[in-house]
């Protein structure tokens, strides 16, 4: 098997980000078109134009402010240097090792052990750590987890993941609007049963599409981030030991929206993952690979 090039993976992620944006944007415009079919012909053009403007505005709003919105929704507080000296030191050390600016550091009050990184690019990125993780990991284990999140930033995984969180949320929102219009389809009998059938199929496929978009964040990204963490810390056992503690401790009770659950170090809502239907690889497999390094 050919060895992975980190530079190649970064370039792939950048290209995937643009492709994902194009595909989902096209899907969103199609959603507005489907909604417009419930209205008279003279109103359709206006609905499509409004939909186009709304979609662009939504994407731009989340692109520039989405990280703040997500951090705020999770109750994340900035980790001050004095109170969280070791945490900030570890983040700074690994940022220097990865050759990126030090991300902003946040703490989330939760007994669950987890973390995530977010941001459009390395200089605008942030890392959030739960208090449960800080309390239960030693320095080597903490370095392994931070190294993993730093890897996501330096490999541009966060941009790709962030686009998924943004666009998936909009797909769910528009799907709900469509279903509401579908319930009112009795006022549009002239549209015929075909439109109702198309609408039902569309509404049923939307959740599946959302899951497929989440699966677009390949589990390979997590394995790559683990490998990059081992490269940065020079100590794969630190991350392997952290994963063991997380596997024993976590109860999957962070109750995070499924639209952003893929951003986290481990699934915040589940303790055991179904490999076929998860964006996270099994923890046991991650530990096995780390200990084989």
Residue 1 lies in a domain: no
Provide CB contacts within 8 A for 43, sequence distance 6+: 36
Structural domain including 47 reads 6-71+166-215
Please report the beta strands in the chain, taking only residues with DSSP state E, as ranges in sequence order.
77-78, 104-108, 115-118, 126-130
87 and 153 part of one domain: yes
What is the radius of gyration, based on Cα positions, of the chain? 21
In a domain, 18, yes or no: yes
Residue 152 or residue 41, greater confidence: 152
Same domain, 86 and 127: yes
Which CATH number goes with the domain that contains 129?
Answer: 3.30.2010.10
Closest by CA to 160, choosing from 5, 9, 45, is: 9
Please tell me whether residues 142 and 253 are part of one structural domain: yes
pLDDT of 214:
62
SS3 242: helix
Does the annotation count 78 as an active-site position? Answer: no
- The overall longest dimension of the chain from CA atoms, in Å, is 68
Judging by DSSP bridges, how do beta strands 126-130 and 104-108 pair with one another?
parallel
Residues 92 and 234 in one domain: yes
Residue closest to 154 by CA, chosen among 15, 4, 20, 14: 14
pLDDT (mean) for 259-266: 87
Number of domains in the chain: 2
The backbone torsions φ and ψ at residue 134, rounded to the nearest 5 degrees and listed phi first, read -65, -35
Cα–Cα distance measured from residue 236 to residue 241, given in angstroms and rounded to the nearest whole number: 9
Confidence of residue 10 (pLDDT cuts 50, 70, 90): low
Q: Is residue 139 part of a domain?
A: yes
Q: Is the pLDDT of residue 1 over 50?
A: no
Q: What is the pLDDT averaged over residues 181-196?
A: 58
- Range of lowest pLDDT (60-69, 213-222, 236-245): 213-222
52 and 96 both lie in a single domain = no
Question: CB count, 10 Å around CB of 39?
Answer: 14
Mean pLDDT of the chain: 82
| Secondary structure element (H or E) that encloses residue 69, with its range | helix 41-73
Q: Tell me the C-alpha distance between 93 and 100, whole Å.
A: 10
Q: Give yes or no: residues 190 and 275 share one domain.
A: no
Burial class (CB in 10 A: 0-12, 13-18, 19+), 143: buried
CA–CA gap between residue 36 and residue 243 (Å, rounded): 49
Are 135 and 239 contained in the same domain? yes
Q: Is residue 88 part of a domain?
A: yes
Do 207 and 241 share a domain, yes or no?
no
pLDDT for 82: 86
For residue 196, tell me if it sits in a domain. Answer: yes
185 shares its domain with 121: no
Give the confidence band of 9 by pLDDT, cuts at 50, 70, 90: low
Q: Using N-to-C axis directions, what is the helix angle for 157-183 and 192-215, rounded to 10°?
A: 160
> What's residue 100's pLDDT?
95
For residues 37 and 141, state if they share a domain: no
Give one word for 56, left, alpha or beta, with left for phi > 0 and alpha for psi -120 to 50: alpha
* 270 assigned to some structural domain: yes
Per-residue model confidence as pLDDT tens digits over 52-61: 888 788 878 8
Query: Measured at the alpha carbon of residue 183, what is the angle toward residues 180 and 184, in degrees to the nearest 5?
Result: 95
User: Is residue 84 domain-resident?
Assistant: yes
Residues 19 and 153 in one domain: no
Instruction: Inform me whether the pLDDT recorded for 5 exceeds 70.
Output: no
Residue 126: predicted pLDDT? 96
- Of the residues 215, 235, 255, the one at which a domain ends: 215
The most confident of 4-18, 55-69, 194-208, by mean pLDDT: 55-69
3-state helix, strand, coil in the chain (%, to 5): 70, 5, 25
pTM of this structure: 0.79
Q: Structure tokens of 276?
A: 């076929």
- Alpha carbon distance 138, 61 (integer Å): 38
At residue 72, does pLDDT exceed 80? yes
Catalytic residue among 11, 109, 135, 149: 149
pLDDT at 85: 95
Please answer whether residues 268 and 252 qualify as being in contact, where contact means their C-beta atoms are separated by less than 8 angstroms.
yes
Residues 103 and 203 in one domain: no
Determine, yes or no, domain membership for 15. Answer: yes
117-169 pLDDT tens trace? 998 889 999 999 999 999 999 999 999 999 999 999 998 888 777 777 677 77
């Amino acid at each position: 098997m050919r060895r992975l090039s980190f530079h190649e993976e970064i370039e792939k992620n950048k290209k995937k980000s643009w492709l994902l944006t194009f595909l989902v944007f096209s899907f969103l415009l199609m959603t507005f078109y489907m909604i417009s079919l419930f209205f008279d012909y003279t109103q359709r053009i206006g609905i499509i134009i409004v939909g186009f403007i709304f979609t662009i505005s939504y994407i731009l709003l989340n692109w520039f402010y989405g990280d703040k919105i997500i951090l705020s929704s999770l109750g994340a507080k900035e980790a001050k240097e004095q109170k969280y000296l070791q945490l900030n030191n570890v983040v700074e050390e690994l940022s220097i090792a990865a050759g990126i600016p030090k991300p902003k550091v946040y703490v989330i009050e939760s007994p669950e052990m987890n973390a995530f990184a977010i941001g459009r690019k390395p200089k605008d990125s942030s890392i959030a750590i739960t208090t449960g993780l800080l309390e239960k990991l030693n320095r080597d284990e903490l370095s392994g987890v931070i190294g993993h999140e730093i890897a996501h930033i330096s490999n541009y995984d966060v941009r790709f993941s962030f686009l998924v969180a943004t666009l998936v949320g909009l797909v769910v929102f528009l799907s709900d609007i469509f279903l509401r219009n579908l319930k009112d389809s009795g006022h549009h009998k002239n549209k015929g049963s075909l439109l109702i059938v198309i609408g039902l199929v569309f509404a049923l496929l939307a959740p599946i599409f959302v899951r497929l978009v989440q699966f677009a964040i390949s589990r390979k990204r997590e394995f790559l981030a683990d490998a990059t963490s081992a490269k940065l810390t020079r100590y794969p056992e630190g991350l392997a030991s952290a994963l063991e503690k997380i596997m024993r401790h976590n109860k999957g009770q962070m109750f995070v929206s499924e639209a952003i659950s893929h951003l986290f170090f481990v699934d915040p809502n589940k303790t055991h993952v179904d490999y076929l239907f998860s964006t996270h690889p099994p923890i046991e497999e991650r530990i096995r690979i780390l200990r084989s390094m």
